[in-house]
């Protein structure tokens, strides 16, 4: 699960950089709201990234694993 959280961070970072790059190009062409929209998107992505870092090692993975193992044994 730790690896999954780390892997989830990558696409958000890529999407943020692509969004900023595209919005910068649009802003140079006169699109007034491009940077505002990019900022909004990046703020939302940052929340997901922060959450993934917060729960990297502070999570319920161990308990979830134990519960699933018990269920698979029919308990």
Give the mean pLDDT of 49-63. 87
Those residues whose C-beta lies under 8 Å from the C-beta of residue 71, and which sit 6 or more positions away, are none
Give pLDDT tens digits for 5-42: 899 999 999 999 999 999 999 999 999 999 999 999 99
Q: DSSP E strands: which ranges in the chain?
A: none
Residue 3 has pLDDT above 90, yes or no: no
Give the residue with greater pLDDT, 35 vs 55: 35
23 with 35: CB under 8 angstroms? yes
């Amino acid at each position: 699960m730790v690896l999954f959280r780390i892997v989830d961070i990558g696409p958000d970072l890529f999407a943020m950089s692509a969004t900023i790059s595209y919005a910068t190009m649009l802003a140079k062409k006169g699109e007034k709201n491009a940077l505002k929209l990019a900022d909004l998107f990046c703020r939302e992505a940052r929340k997901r990234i922060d959450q993934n870092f917060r729960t990297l090692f502070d999570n319920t993975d161990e308990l979830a694993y134990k519960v699933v193992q018990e269920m698979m044994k029919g308990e």
